Amino acid sequence: MRTIKRGVLLLLLSAMLAGCSSDIREISDIALVMLTAIDYDEQKQLYVFTVNCLEASTNTAGNTARKPEWIASASGPSVFEAARNLRSRAGKVLIWQHDKFFLIGESAARRSFYEVVDFLTRSRDIRLSSFLIVAQGNASELMRTRAETGDLLSNEMLGKVKNEQLWGKSLTLAVKDIVNEYTNPYRGIVTGKLSKAKPMGGNREVLFLSGGSVIQQGRLKEWLSGDDTLSIHILVNKKYWKALEFAEYVPFNDRRVALRMRVGKRSMSLVRAEGKPGIAIRIEMSGSITSIDKKLNLADPATLHGVEEAASRYMEQRLKVSLNRFQRELKSDIIGFSDYLRQHHPYEWKRISKTWVTDVYPTMPIRVRVDVAIPTIGMSEVIGGP
Amino acid sequence: MDKISTPLEPSVARNVESLRRLFANNEQIVFHTIESSSGIPIAAMIYLNVLIDMERLQQHILPQISLHLHAAGGSAHSLEEAARAQGFEQSFGQLDVAVRTIADAGLVLCVEGRSEALGMRLPGYGKRAVGAPMTEVNVRGPRAGFIEDADTNLGLIYRRLKTDRLKSKSYRIGQESQTDVTVLYLDNQVDTGVLQEVERRLTAVRLNVVADSAQIEEWIQDSPYSPFPQIQNTERPDRVTTALNRGKVAIVTDGSPNVLLVPAAFTDFLHPSEDLYEKFYFANFLRGLRLITLFISLFLPSIYIALSTFHLEMIPTPLMLTFLTAKAGIPLPTFLEALVMEIAFEILREASVRLPQTVGQSVSIVGALIIGEAAVQSGIVSRPMVIVVALTGIASFTIPSFNTAITMRMLRFPLMFIAAWTGVLGISLCLFALVLHLCSLKSFGKSYLPTLEPMRWRDFVSHYILLPIKHRKLSRTQASPAAVGGPKHEDD
Interchain CB distance below 8 Å, B325 and A64: yes
* Angstrom distance (rounded) from CA A305 to CA A252: 11
Question: B10 pLDDT band (50/70/90 cuts)?
Answer: confident
Listed residues A158, A191, A224: the one ending a domain? A224
Residues of B in contact with A2 (CB under 8 A): none
What 8-state DSSP symbol labels residue A330?
Answer: I
Cα angle B203, B208, B211; round to 5: 95
What 8-state DSSP symbol labels residue A364?
Answer: -
The Cα of A155 is separated from the nearest Cα of chain B by a number of Å equal to 9
Across B441-458, average pLDDT: 78
Interchain CB distance below 8 Å, A58 and B328: yes
Question: Which one of A18, A25, A58 has the shortest CB-CB distance to B420?
Answer: A18
Q: Sketch the domain layout of chain B as residue ranges.
A: 3-121, 150-264, 278-443, 450-483
* Angstrom distance (rounded) from CA B150 to CA B64: 30
Helix (H, G, I), strand (E, B) or coil at A127: coil
Interchain CB distance below 8 Å, A14 and B421: yes
Listed residues A224, A256, A280: the one ending a domain? A224
The CA–CA distances, whole Å, from A242 to A68, A130, A266 equal 38, 21, 10
A4 lies in some domain: no
* Angstrom distance (rounded) from CA B352 to CA B339: 20
Q: What is the model's pLDDT at position A63?
A: 45
Go through A61-73 and write b for each residue having 16 or more CB atoms within 10 A of its CB, e for each that does not.
beeeeebebbebb
Sign of the torsion angle spanned by Cα atoms B210, B213, B216, B218: negative
Both A188 and A319 in a single domain?
Answer: no
Both A156 and A39 in a single domain?
Answer: yes
Both A143 and A108 in a single domain?
Answer: yes
Both A34 and A182 in a single domain?
Answer: yes
The Cα of B386 is separated from the nearest Cα of chain A by a number of Å equal to 14
Residues of B in contact with A17 (CB under 8 A): 417, 421
A3 lies in some domain: no
Across B31-35, average pLDDT: 87
Residues of A in contact with B313 (CB under 8 A): 97-98, 127
Residue of B308, B322, B323, B324 to mutate when probing chain A, most A C-beta within 10 A: B324
Q: pLDDT per residue over A35-64, tens digit each? A: 999 999 999 999 999 999 987 665 444 444
Both A171 and A301 in a single domain?
Answer: no
Residues 6+ apart with CB under 8 A from A266: A234, A235, A238, A241, A281, A282, A283, A284
Go through A36-59 and write b for each residue having 16 or more CB atoms within 10 A of its CB, e for each that does not.
bbbbbeeeeebbbbbbbbbbbbee
Asked whether the predicted pLDDT for residue B483 surpasses 70, the reply is no
Closest CA to A39 of A99, A112, A88, A127: A112
* Angstrom distance (rounded) from CA A38 to CA A310: 46
Q: In the beta sheet, which residues pair with residue A95?
A: A32
CB A293 within 8 A of CB A383: no
Interchain CB distance below 8 Å, A26 and B334: yes
* Angstrom distance (rounded) from CA A246 to CA A164: 10
Helix (H, G, I), strand (E, B) or coil at A18: coil
A84 lies in some domain: yes
Asked whether the predicted pLDDT for residue B69 surpasses 90, the reply is no
Element of type H or E holding A120: helix A106-122
Peptide bond into B224 cis (omega under 30): no
Q: pLDDT per residue over B343-377, tens digit each? A: 988 888 888 888 887 777 777 777 777 777 888 88
* Angstrom distance (rounded) from CA B24 to CA B16: 12
Backbone conformation region of residue B396, classed left if phi is above 0, alpha if psi is from -120 to 50, else beta: alpha
Chain B residue with Cα closest to A31 = B324
Q: Which residues of B touch A (CB under 8 A)?
A: 225, 308-310, 312-313, 317, 320-321, 323-325, 327-330, 333-336, 379, 414, 416-418, 420-423
Both A89 and A40 in a single domain?
Answer: yes
Interchain CB distance below 8 Å, B423 and A56: no
* Angstrom distance (rounded) from CA B470 to CA B488: 10
Interchain CB distance below 8 Å, B324 and A54: yes
Residues of A in contact with B336 (CB under 8 A): 19
Listed residues A197, A224, A251: the one ending a domain? A224
Interchain CB distance below 8 Å, B310 and A30: no
Both A354 and A385 in a single domain?
Answer: yes
Residues of A in contact with B423 (CB under 8 A): 21, 23
Both A195 and A247 in a single domain?
Answer: no
A231 lies in some domain: no
Interchain CB distance below 8 Å, B417 and A64: no
Q: Tens place of pLDDT for every residue, chain A, 386 residues?
A: 788 888 888 877 877 777 677 788 888 888 899 999 999 999 999 999 999 998 766 544 444 455 678 899 999 999 999 999 999 988 888 999 999 999 999 999 999 899 999 999 998 889 999 999 999 999 999 998 888 888 888 889 999 999 999 989 999 999 999 998 888 889 999 999 999 998 888 888 999 999 999 998 888 999 999 999 999 999 988 888 899 999 999 999 899 999 999 999 999 999 988 788 899 999 999 999 988 888 888 888 899 999 999 999 999 999 999 999 999 999 999 999 999 999 999 999 999 999 999 889 999 999 999 999 999 877 666 555 44
The Cα of B319 is separated from the nearest Cα of chain A by a number of Å equal to 11
* Angstrom distance (rounded) from CA B186 to CA B180: 20
Asked whether the predicted pLDDT for residue B326 surpasses 60, the reply is yes
* Angstrom distance (rounded) from CA B71 to CA B109: 19
CB A313 within 8 A of CB A300: no
Asked whether the predicted pLDDT for residue B488 surpasses 60, the reply is no
The CA–CA distances, whole Å, from B192 to B198, B375, B450, B490 equal 10, 58, 20, 19
Contacts made by residues B152-158, CB under 8 angstroms, sequence distance 24+: B152/B127, B153/B237, B153/B252, B153/B257, B153/B259, B154/B182, B154/B184, B154/B252, B156/B130, B156/B237, B157/B184, B157/B237, B157/B240, B157/B241, B157/B244, B157/B250, B157/B252, B157/B259
Helix (H, G, I), strand (E, B) or coil at A99: coil
Both A262 and A203 in a single domain?
Answer: no
Chain A residue with Cα closest to B339 = A18
The Cα of A367 is separated from the nearest Cα of chain B by a number of Å equal to 45
Instruction: With both helix axes pointing from N to C terminus, report the angle between B383-397 and B280-309 in degrees, rounded to the nearest 10.
Output: 150
Both A143 and A266 in a single domain?
Answer: no
Q: What is the model's pLDDT at position B480?
A: 43
Across B85-113, average pLDDT: 88
Helix (H, G, I), strand (E, B) or coil at A123: coil
Q: What is the model's pLDDT at position A61?
A: 45
Element of type H or E holding A287: strand A276-292
pTM of the model: 0.84
* Angstrom distance (rounded) from CA B25 to CA B401: 45
Interchain CB distance below 8 Å, A19 and B420: yes
Interchain CB distance below 8 Å, B417 and A58: no
Secondary structure in 3-state letters for chain B: CCCCCCECCCCHHHHHHHHHHHCCCCCCEEEEEEECCCCCEEEEEEEECCCECHHHHHHHHHHHHHHHHHHHCCCHHHHHHHHHHCCCCEEECEHHHHHHHHHCCEEEEEECCCCCEEEEECECCCCCCCCCCCCCCCCCCCCCCCCCCHHHHHHHHHCCCCCCCEEEEEEEECCCCCEEEEEEEECCCCCHHHHHHHHHHHHCCCCCCCCCHHHHHHHHCCCCCCCCCCCEEECCHHHHHHHHHCCCEEEEECCCCCEEEECCCHHHHCCCHHHHHCCHHHHHHHHHHHHHHHHHHHHHHHHHHHHHHCCHHHCCHHHHHHHHHHHCCCCCCHHHHHHHHHHHHHHHHHHHHHCCHHHHHHHHHHHHHHHHHHHHHCCCCCHHHHHHHHHHHHHHHCCCCHHHHHHHHHHHHHHHHHHHHHHHHHHHHHHHHHHHHHHHCEECCEECCCCCCCCCHHHHHHHHCCCCHHHCCCCCCCCCCCCCCCCCCCCC
Cα angle B229, B492, B397; round to 5: 45
Residues of A in contact with B312 (CB under 8 A): 25, 27, 30, 95, 97-98
Q: pLDDT per residue over B260-276, tens digit each? A: 999 998 989 998 888 88
Q: pLDDT per residue over B125-167, tens digit each? A: 888 888 888 888 888 888 899 999 999 999 999 999 999 999 9
Interchain CB distance below 8 Å, B416 and A18: yes
Residue-range definition of the domain harbouring residue A319? 243-386
Residues of B in contact with A57 (CB under 8 A): 328
Number of domains in chain A: 2
Both A318 and A377 in a single domain?
Answer: yes
* Angstrom distance (rounded) from CA A116 to CA A109: 8
- Provide the CATH number for the domain around residue A308: 3.30.300.210
More confident residue, B202 or B34: B202
Q: What is the model's pLDDT at position B200?
A: 94
Chain B residue with Cα closest to A152 = B321
Residues of B in contact with A152 (CB under 8 A): 321
Residues of A in contact with B317 (CB under 8 A): 32, 98, 100
Both A166 and A61 in a single domain?
Answer: yes
How many beta-carbon pairs under 8 angstroms link A with B? Answer: 91
CB B101 within 8 A of CB B121: yes
B217 alpha carbon, distance to own chain's centre: 8
Residues of B in contact with A27 (CB under 8 A): 308-309, 312, 323-324, 327, 334
* Angstrom distance (rounded) from CA A204 to CA A224: 25
* Angstrom distance (rounded) from CA A67 to CA B158: 69
Interchain CB distance below 8 Å, B321 and A61: no
The Cα of A176 is separated from the nearest Cα of chain B by a number of Å equal to 18
CB B87 within 8 A of CB B74: no
Residues of B in contact with A20 (CB under 8 A): 421
